[in-house]
Amino acid sequence: MSIVTRPRRRIGTILAALAVTISLIGCSSQTTLSKDQAAAKITAAQTTHADLAKRASAADALAAKLAKQATLLEAEVAKGQAAQAKAESTRDAAKSSLAAAQSAASASAASAQAAAASQAQAASTAAAQAHQPQAQTPAGGHAPVNHGDMNTAATGRIVGNANSKIYHVPGQAGYRMNSANAVYFNSEAEAQAAGYRKSLR
C-alpha cells in the first residue's frame, strides 16, 4: 500500500464517522421536536379538558336554573287550575241561585196575577150587581118576567147567575138572564165549589 492511499482511507473513515454523527444528531433533533409537540398537545388537551369541565359546570348550573323555573311554573299552573276550579264552582252556585230566584219570582208573579184576576173578577161581579136593577113585584103579586139578553139553553155550557147563585146545565129548560151576570163553569163540581146550586127546572 502506498503512502498516498492511507491518508485517503483515513479521510473516508472520518467522513463516514462524521456522517453517522450527523445522522445521530438529526435523529436526536427529531426526537426532541416530537417531545415538544407531544407536550404542546398535552397542554392543548388539558386546556380543552378544563374548558369542557367549565362548560359542563355552566350546563349543570343552567339545568338547575331551568329545573327551578319548571318547578315554579308547575306551581303557577296548579294555582291557576285551583283558581279556575273555584271560579267554575262559584259560577255554578251563582247559576243555581239565579235559577232559584227566577223560579221564585215566576211563582210570585203567577200568584200575584191570580190574586189580581180574582180581585178583578170580584170587583166586576160587585159592580154588575150594584148596577143590576132590582126586580119589582107587580101589584097583582105575580113574579116579573126576566127579559135578559141571553138564554142559558143557547150557550151549550154550564152557566150560573151571579145574582141568584143558580147554575143551569145543557139540556135543562132555558132561562133568560143578563149576560153581565153570567158565570161559566167547566163542571158541576166547580160550580158547586163556587157556592152555586143547580137549577130545579
Tell me the mean pLDDT in the region 2-9. Answer: 61
User: How far is Cα 24 from Cα 42, in angstroms, rounded to an integer?
Assistant: 27
* Residues 185/191, Cβ–Cβ less than 8 Å: yes
User: How far is Cα 176 from Cα 163, in angstroms, rounded to an integer?
Assistant: 13
pLDDT of residue 196: 96
Higher pLDDT, 147 or 150: 150
- What's 19's DSSP letter? H
How many residues are listed for the chain in this entry?
201
* Residues 166/198, Cβ–Cβ less than 8 Å: yes
User: Mean pLDDT over all residues of the chain?
Assistant: 78
Residue 177: strand pairing partners = 150
User: How far is Cα 193 from Cα 198, in angstroms, rounded to an integer?
Assistant: 12
pTM over 0.95: no
Find, among 155, 163, 158, the residue nearest to 192 by Cα. Answer: 158
pLDDT of residue 124: 59
pLDDT of residue 185: 96
User: How far is Cα 22 from Cα 88, in angstroms, rounded to an integer?
Assistant: 96
Share of the chain above pLDDT 70, in %: 75
pLDDT, tens only, 18-57? 777 777 666 655 556 688 888 888 888 888 878 888 888 8
pLDDT, tens only, 82-121? 989 998 988 998 888 888 888 877 777 777 777 776 666 6
Q: Number of C-alpha atoms within 13 angstroms, CB side, residue 134?
A: 3
pLDDT of residue 122: 63
How many CB atoms neighbour CB 175 within 10 A?
18
* Residues 201/172, Cβ–Cβ less than 8 Å: yes
Higher pLDDT, 122 or 109: 109
* Residues 186/169, Cβ–Cβ less than 8 Å: no
